[in-house]
Homo-oligomer: A and B are copies of this chain.
Amino acid sequence: MIRHIVLFTWTETATDEQKETVTAELGKLPGIIPQLRSYTVGPDAGINQGNHDYAVVADFDDVDDYLVYRDHPHHQAVIAEHIRPILASRAAVQLSL
């Protein structure tokens, strides 16, 4: 299994509507990209100070399935249209489990 993990911080000018649109648009991807075995996305819960703002955890059977997701035009469109315009920083890891 490959577990893809990415954390974002948003720009100071990002609006609540823009942030909520990220969740709405990412939430459509499991219906479009069947290689997604599990997909958990959302904003930080606000328990700790100094956290990043948003997380995506996506599970795949193998590396090839992850690459289908990574390079999928619908996924790339969400990144280009909704994530990148409000992105301040990004941290990612893929775990091989």
Enumerate chain A interface residues (CB-CB to B < 8 A). Answer: 2-3, 5, 7, 40-42, 44-45, 47-48, 50-55, 57, 63, 66-67, 70, 91-97
Contact = CB atoms under 8 A, between A and B. Distances in A.
A51 B7 contact: no
A61 B3 CA distance: 21
A81 to B, nearest CB: 21
A44 B3 contact: no
Contacts of A52: 91-93
Nearest to A4: B47
A95 to B, nearest CB: 5
Nearest to A3: B40
Contacts of A7: 5, 7, 91-93
A5 B47 contact: no
